[in-house]
Structure 1
Amino acid sequence: MRRLTTRDRLVIGLLLGLPLLFDLVLVWATTLASVGLSFTGWDGIGSIKWVGVANYKELFTNYPPFATAIYHNLLWLAFLAVVATPLGLLFAVLLDRKIRFSRFYQSAIYLPVVLSLAVIGFISQLIFSRDNGALNALLGQTGPGSHPVDWIGDPHLNIWMVLLMAGWRHSGYVMVLYLAGLKSVDPTLKEAAAIDGASSRQTFFRVVFPVMRPVNVIVGVITVIEALRAFDIVYAINNGKNGLELLSVLITDNIIGEASRIGFGSAIAVVLLLISVGCIVAYCMTELREEKR
């Protein structure tokens, strides 16, 4: 075995040390700074004042948009987990069977993933706009005497329209991940299940899907992250207001808004961090228990 030279150690140190340094500075340092600032009152210009848990007290007792944003983020997570993720899995299963034009379908379904959520937000405006939207035109509600639906202006409707667009993008991402997982499954497992008399449905749910547990964990974590970091699409539509309030929007409005409240915005960011970590840890623990069984 060749012994490492000084040059080898230097190269390894740079390759490992620089990414670690960037991670510590850009992720962990800023995270700890946000936690510290959440206990202060600071407008970004004057002196930093220690206020203890006052920001958290105001957040939970005297800030109505917070409860609405929590509800919307959890609704976002539920929609992606219950609707968009299974839809992406269905697409992957169908395309894995090598149907005709599968390459075309795969590209078409994956196309929204290439676009940013901000672009998806602009597309949403083109589709759901009250006066010139494609959906109202398709329903014949754009001419004189018609009653067009305000899909993205009505606070009771717009969250569902945005979820449809976000789910459209998320399902393509999930499809690609599950396609890769399906390609890695040993074909002999399927053949053994078929010999034992298992149907295609039984083979998938009892043999193939459990084997893809690592992919399931990745998809679960990505789903949580996508749901809780959502920002671009609602900000592109109406700045995250009038029924589209999210935690990320409240953080932005309080930190870089007209009345900068960096300490209060940091408190919201800490709550979002705790929710994210809690959901991911709970999901991973559940998957690990199932794997041990």
Structure 2
Amino acid sequence: MKIRRFSAGDRAVIAVVLGVAIVLDLGLIWGPTIASVGLSFTSWNGVTDPAWVGGRNYDTIVNVYPPFWPAVRHNLLWLAFLGAVATPLGLFFAVLLDKRLRLGRFYQSALYLPVVLSLAIVGFIAQLVYSRDYGALNNVLGRTGNPIDFLGDPSINIWAVLIAVGWRHVGYVMILYLAGLKAVDPALKESAALDGAGEAQTFFRVTFPTLRPVNIIVLVITVIEGLRAFDIVYAINRGRNGLELLSVLVTDNIIGEASRIGFGSAIAVILLLISLGFIVTYLVRILREER
């Protein structure tokens, strides 16, 4: 078999395409990331020259800055809810739709519809549902005379928001798993059935293991969604009064009135390390299992 050699024009096109992608990746992702790491060790307001402060920003964040630990707890709670509730629910719906239910296309479209909405829009919808004064939920519960403040009460507003976020995340996970289930070889299921395996045994011992590539994608997406969350809480109450998140703290410090860019960069670096910790740990475990 004769191997075709690339012409000079082919090599030029490949170089341009790869070059543009690499430049954009470095300029828009790695460049700002490295800059944030450097700025996290400085005190800078964006106007005067940065002043080196070493690890003082990190010490202040961990030991002095009041919103930090509540934000960490909320981000981890966000991640746990998406991973332990919304993701399994999305998988469950995918399995049901894979059975070719009647009106399956309608159910699939209805479940996927929230995914096309941004979290900011979901936040506005959540306000219409949960609002103390005009929310639909209080009307349904008959609490118009003594309404529940779902968004103003810091003991319950995080749960109300997580339900809204989970509503969107379920559809995203469902469509990913549904695509994975469509790719499973039907012969595997038939062989399991001939061996006497029940429906649940077939799924957990045959179907689910073949979904490992999808599981990795879902895990990464879930971690990213859980830790980058910002839009919905900012749309509701600017991420305050029980809805503090690390991403909101970064925004408040970098572009807020304080303009503490070095301090905000340190929070961003902490958020990056938490994200990498979850993803790298899981990927290392998967690679070890494959070996």
Q: Identify the TM-score tier after normalising by the shorter chain.
A: over 0.9
Q: The residue matched to 2:273 in structure 1 has which SS?
A: helix
Name the structure 1 match of 2:283: 284
Question: What is the root-mean-square deviation of aligned Cα atoms in Å?
Answer: 0.8
Distance 1:85 1:249 in 2: 24
- Cα distance, 1:111 vs structure 2: 0.3
CA displacement 1:233-286 (0-9 Å, x = unmatched): 000000000000000000000000001100000000000000000000112222
Name the structure 1 match of 2:15: 13
TM-score in terms of structure 2 length: 0.98
Name the structure 2 match of 1:74: 76
Name the structure 2 match of 1:174: 173
CA displacement 1:173-231 (0-9 Å, x = unmatched): 00000000000111110011001000000000001000110100110111000000000
What one-letter code is carried by the residue in structure 1 that aligns with 2:176? Answer: L
Q: The residue matched to 1:12 in structure 2 has which SS?
A: helix
1:160 aligns with 2:162: no
Name the structure 1 match of 2:41: 39
Name the structure 2 match of 1:148: 147
Percent identical pairs in the alignment equals 67
Structure 1, unaligned stretches of length 5 or more? Answer: none
Pairing of 1:59-98 with structure 2 (within 5 A): 59-98=61-100
Distance 2:288 2:245 in 1: 32
What one-letter code is carried by the residue in structure 2 that aligns with 1:10? Answer: A
Query: Which residue of 54, 57, 60 maps to 2:59?
Result: 57
What one-letter code is carried by the residue in structure 1 that aligns with 2:75? Answer: N
The number of residues matched between the two structures is: 289
Structure 2, unaligned stretches of length 5 or more? Answer: none
Distance 1:91 1:290 in 2: 28
Name the structure 2 match of 1:193: 192
Distance 1:203 1:227 in 2: 31
TM-score in terms of structure 1 length: 0.97
Distance 1:290 1:134 in 2: 49
CA displacement 1:16-50 (0-9 Å, x = unmatched): 11111100110001000000000000000111101
Name the structure 2 match of 1:214: 213
Name the structure 1 match of 2:140: 138
Q: The residue matched to 1:162 in structure 2 has which SS?
A: helix
- Cα distance, 1:15 vs structure 2: 1.3
Name the structure 2 match of 1:27: 29
Name the structure 2 match of 1:183: 182
